[in-house]
Amino acid sequence: MPGARLRTGRTRWDQGRTLSTIAVMQPNDEGASASPDATARHLLVVVHSRGGSTATLSDAAIAAARSVPAEVVVRTTPAFDAGPDDVVWADGALLATPAHFGYMSGALKDFFERVYYPCLDHTVGLPFALIVKGDTDVDGARASVERITTGLRWRRVLPPLLVVGDVGPDDVEQAAELGATLALGMAEGVF
């Protein structure tokens, strides 16, 4: 398949509820070079945004992560589409969710429900960062994500970006800084 690269030694979730080592041809991920690079780090961005404010913040973080002068492959996946294969592929994750009724979005909760047990023993120590956007409160959403990621034994490596109210230029700048810092930290082996 043109523009594809062979990935070997990766673990993959299969329907038999096990993770197995496979070698598969996959199309290049966005931002990846055409040739395999064993040093490339993989950043998974899992996003849910219905009204657009969370997307504005995550878009700034993604653009900044892709602009880091290091080999970081960024894969952006809507929360309803992300699964165990995506998480196992990742060397780090950025989660972006609106706050709904004092909790993370239903889409991000659905993501966690689908990946929790398949990834539980296979992603221990996964570095992650978090963006939460809410109209009046974000504390419950932040806490709910952190409870689940603690159970997964992932490690939050940067303070969460918590935005209450309208998204302003400073919020977008902070999101970009979060994305760039996460990607650079992964590339340099800090996280």
The position carrying tokens 């929790």 is: 116
Residue 13 lies inside a defined structural domain of this protein: no
Round to whole Å and give the CA distance between 119 and 117. Answer: 5
- pLDDT band with cut points at 50, 70 and 90 for residue 128: very high
Residue 14 lies inside a defined structural domain of this protein: no
Domain range for 128: 41-187
Report the pLDDT value the prediction gives residue 39, as an integer from 0 to 100.
78
Residue 124 lies inside a defined structural domain of this protein: yes
CATH code where residue 104 lies: 3.40.50.360
Structurally, the chain folds into a number of domains equal to 1
Residue 24 lies inside a defined structural domain of this protein: no
Q: pTM for the full model? A: 0.81
Residue 22 lies inside a defined structural domain of this protein: no
Residue 53 lies inside a defined structural domain of this protein: yes
Q: Model confidence over 52-99: pLDDT tens digits?
A: 999 999 999 999 999 988 889 999 999 999 999 999 999 999 999 999
Low-confidence winner among 17-21, 92-96, 100-104 (lowest mean pLDDT):
17-21
Residue 102 lies inside a defined structural domain of this protein: yes
Residue 6 lies inside a defined structural domain of this protein: no
The larger pLDDT score, comparing residue 7 to residue 71, is at 71
